[in-house]
Amino acid sequence: MARYKKKERQELLVESVSSDPFLTDERLSEMFAVSIQTIRLDRLELNIPELRERIKHVAREETEKIRSLSLQEVIGEIIDIELNSHALSLFIVEEGHVFQKNRIARGHYLFAQANSLCVAVIDEPLALTKAADIEFVRPAKLGDKVVSKASVEQMDGNTAVISMESTVEQRLVFKGVFEMYYRDEDNEGEKNG
């Protein structure tokens, strides 16, 4: 692994965090072959906030666009969203999300993260799940950072088809195709439910 001079390392650090705000100090220290303390000092010197603060900042900007649900109803934190196109969220598996015996995340949390992201990406005040074809590929564990990506494949009439992928460190843990029903406020009287 190449060793970088401080100025070069700091320039690359800024680029890396800009392109992937989810990089942990541990991962950055591996990338640049320096100690975690060195990365923390670089971040402080460059005014780069720690991971949780970076995520909260991105999430605040992005979630103001969502019409279909409130921020409290989203499982995980939305970190990027282009309505009716795509969205990203981050869910950190914590103690209350895992089975105590094996420390594996309960599947309904991964499903809920994906499902709430599918609802959020629809630019209508009402979006509901009609059907979902899902697969749990490998387990997520305590402490894992699950990144879910929703991609809107098509929108016809009042139905959207959204493909979902959830990964931990770029390894697939969950995937699915969600069929969503949606409607706008003008059509509220047309269908109950």
The pLDDT tens digits for 35-69 are 989 998 998 888 888 877 776 666 665 556 665 55
- Where are the chain's structural domains? 6-48, 58-187
Start-to-end CA distance of the chain, whole Å, equals 57
CA distance 66 to 69: 7
pTM above 0.85, yes or no: no
Task: Return the pLDDT at 130.
Answer: 95
pLDDT exceeding 70 applies to what percent of the chain? 84
Q: What CATH number should be reported for the domain whose range is 6-48?
A: 1.10.10.10
Out of 11-20, 25-34, 48-57, pick the least confident.
Answer: 48-57
**CATH T-level fold of 58-187:** Thiol Ester Dehydrase; Chain A (3.10.129)
Report pLDDT digits (tens) over 75-91: 888 887 888 999 888 89
CA distance 24 to 43: 11
**Residues 36, 25 contacting (CB under 8 angstroms):** yes
Task: Return the pLDDT at 189.
Answer: 46
The answer to whether the 6-48 and 58-187 domains have the same CATH topology is no
Q: How far, rounded to the nearest angstrom, does the alpha carbon of residue 166 sit from its chain's CA centroid?
A: 8
Judged against a pLDDT cut of 80, whether residue 161 lies above it is answered with: yes
Amino acid (1-letter code) at residue 186: D
Task: Return the pLDDT at 170.
Answer: 87
Report pLDDT digits (tens) over 87-115: 888 899 999 999 999 999 999 999 999 99
Task: Return the pLDDT at 193.
Answer: 41
**Residues 151, 100 contacting (CB under 8 angstroms):** no
